[in-house]
Amino acid sequence: MAGRISEGSGDLDENSEINVTPFIDVMLVLLIIFMVAAPLATVDMKVDLPQSVARPTPRDDKPVFVTLSADLSLAVGNEETARETFVSELKRITNGNTETRVLLRADKLVDYGELMTVMNLIKNARYGKIALVGLEAAPGR
């Protein structure tokens, strides 16, 4: 409650106006505290995780590699093939097994559209397991 001094009477009258300046100051201080404390709350915690007993996925004994070179030539395994005979060559090497995983390697200079064209050729031949092959980089690169 606040008081006001009147001009002539000498006694204090009650003031019904709210003084919001201290309230705004408190809110600004709380805002600054939360802005500083919020990033500290997102720090990763060190946790000792239990070991997994799941077996790793078995790898194919003889994976099928499809290679797309920088000059856009295709190779199935180590044998180069034309795009017209690509699907038949892929079926010959996999013995027609469309469940075989196909590992697709492409030169880094190959256009993304060309890579997608080769992936669509493989997909249209009903091979659903297509994986892209790349080199592992050192962390932070």
Indicate if the pLDDT at residue 117 is higher than 80.
yes
Task: Check if the beta carbon of residue 38 is closer than 8 Å to that of residue 31.
Answer: no
Indicate if the pLDDT at residue 49 is higher than 60.
no
Task: Check if the beta carbon of residue 89 is closer than 8 Å to that of residue 76.
Answer: yes
Indicate if the pLDDT at residue 132 is higher than 60.
yes
Q: Decide: pTM greater than 0.85.
A: no
Helices (H), the chain: 21-41, 86-93, 112-124
Residue with tokens 């256009």: 111
| Tokens at 98, concatenated | 């469309």
Residue 28: CB atoms within 10 A of its CB come to: 10
Task: Give the pLDDT confidence score for residue 97 in this predicted structure.
Answer: 84
Rounded distance, CA 120 to CA 112, Å?
Answer: 12
Q: Which amino acid is at 60?
A: D
The pLDDT confidence band at residue 70, using thresholds 50, 70 and 90, is confident
**Dihedral (CA of 92, 96, 101, 104) sign:** positive
Average of per-residue pLDDT values in the chain:
78
The pLDDT confidence band at residue 73, using thresholds 50, 70 and 90, is confident
Task: Give the pLDDT confidence score for residue 127 in this predicted structure.
Answer: 87
Rounded distance, CA 67 to CA 52, Å?
Answer: 35
Task: Check if the beta carbon of residue 76 is closer than 8 Å to that of residue 66.
Answer: yes
Indicate if the pLDDT at residue 50 is higher than 80.
no
- Return the higher-pLDDT residue of 64 and 31: 31
